[in-house]
Structure 1
Amino acid sequence: MGGCWSKSSLQHALACGKRIGLIAGTDDHLGYPGAYGEGLAAVWAQDLSRESVLEAIKKRRTYGVSGDRIHLDFRLNGHYMGEGIPFSLEREGAIRVSGWDALDRVEVLKNNQVIQRNFPCDRIVDASCWDHPVLLRIEFGWGPWAAMDLPRICDWYFHIKISGGTLLDVYPCFQSGPFCEEKRNLIKNKTAAGCSVQSYTSRKEAFAENPTNAVVLRLSGNSETRISLTVQQPQPFSYEKPLSEFAQHNEVLFTGPFPAESIRIQPLVFSAHYQTEFRFNDRAGTDEVHWYYVRVLQKNGHLAWSSPVWVEKS
């Protein structure tokens, strides 16, 4: 159960008049800062210098993400998240979101009540969906199962090759695990034609005891672009398919008999589903302070939550 007390929630603090900037983290005591799934702080800073980052944190220009590094830009009447702004009867908000999975919904809240929802995952795509970069998530791990009490560490090394397309970016989703100087989670030899992945998976000391890591590829190409995997560890094998095979369905590749580890290639995510941009308008009276913030939920369950913008009384 833990200390889940509703009066310790963010919404309660905001309702009590507290002005809080949001970040995300964990108290699971594993001690792996930045590990996937354990919460991250996002900061809207002018640059990456210590001075700029600290200035942005002090101004509450921050938001939190649970795992995937969702890009969230929320402004009200042109002001960044975290600011307190003078009263205005008319308010216009602008939201831009770019996720690393399909966006289930983006919500705008005013004084803890949802006033608008946007549903990118419901958009219908057509042949033009290939005109923009797509996302392809490759997960690996899944074993050994907890019920079988097999706490082994599995080493991974595989190469990803893109033919007839371009690898634009690779996003790591590497969890915590038993620390060992010889074992590293690395993306190596990245070029426009592919990359190599060196990693390891284990249930021991993993977040939520989930022995799974992943990389997300951002690709430009078309339905005939081919992706190939050449796996060296834990079991040598090769695999190749066109991207069209992943337009609607996933693929599971087993490294051996049960309960051996496996690889799962998730369905493609098109830009219409992982990106959105919209505006909203609101009109409010002068009798109280209003605060607005944005929540983002991806279909894979990962979240982003912005710091509020407060509109003062007149």
Structure 2
Amino acid sequence: MDSLEDTFRTLSIARRLQPSEAMYILDLSLASCASSVSDVLAVCCSNHSVHLHSRETLRLVGTEQVEEDSFLVFWDVRMVQDRGETGSLLGVYSESHSDDITTVKFHPRQADRLASGATDGLVNVFDLSLGGEDDALVTTCNCNSSASSLCWTGKDLDQLLCLTHDEGLHLWDVARPDSDDTLTLLSSADARPMVQLPDGASLEYFVGGTWLSDEERILLVGGSNHGELHLLDCSGRGLRFIKSLRGGHSATVRCFQWDAIGRSLLTGGEDGQLLQWKAGAEEISVGMKDSLKSISSIQLKTKAHRKQATQKGRSKLA
């Protein structure tokens, strides 16, 4: 079987879904659990809607409208009562960050472990099984900027990758929070100069990172404001160029998902397009007739990629 890097080097557009209205794609999520693999791809859009697509064909299978004044609350599904009534709220942690929380990520294997990042420059790791906030906070790292995304990485998923809104990159070992050993494996306030791209290509921002468990490596995705994508390998030694993807998006790419089952890369961005990339593929357009137009109370037009304000000030605690 070809290595995953060989697959990356031969990626081309397999399917393209054009937007049916003025909106852009904010986030993607593939549904999966330990016992089964779902065919559903959830697409979060700027018009306050969530679209459900087939992960293989990209055809729209449903939508969910979210009200303008909406918020997200997490509940423990084990506490749902027999009559279907919701149980007690697990709790609220309000002291560990001093500004807007911009990203959260549960550990893929340890259900009670949660990482959070905020515009205060702090990245916290909690053990929710320990109860109160003071006890639950097990590690704090300082990225000295506004955190944009987090990813659990490493063979034992005991490392944490943090990207910031001003293109900083930090990789920490959080396996031993009480150890005197340094937590930092890699750190750069601006990681873009760490890798040279061929043919004068421009690396203007990072989309995010993901842990590839089969090959035990980090895939980092960056891009240009004109829609070009760059696949990079990330480790404690730095960044290494793998492949550039062109001819797909025409604006900033906001999100991606690697589908390990289908061996495809899914990308979405400010041009409103949802793309599927596969090795050696020939493009199939998913026409408008295959999509349902969501009804939105607010029509948002495509906006340029904006950086969030950076705040510094609190020191590293762990």
TM-score, normalisation: structure 1: 0.23
Which protein shows a greater Rg? 1
TM-score, normalisation: structure 2: 0.23
Q: Greater helix percent: which structure?
A: 1
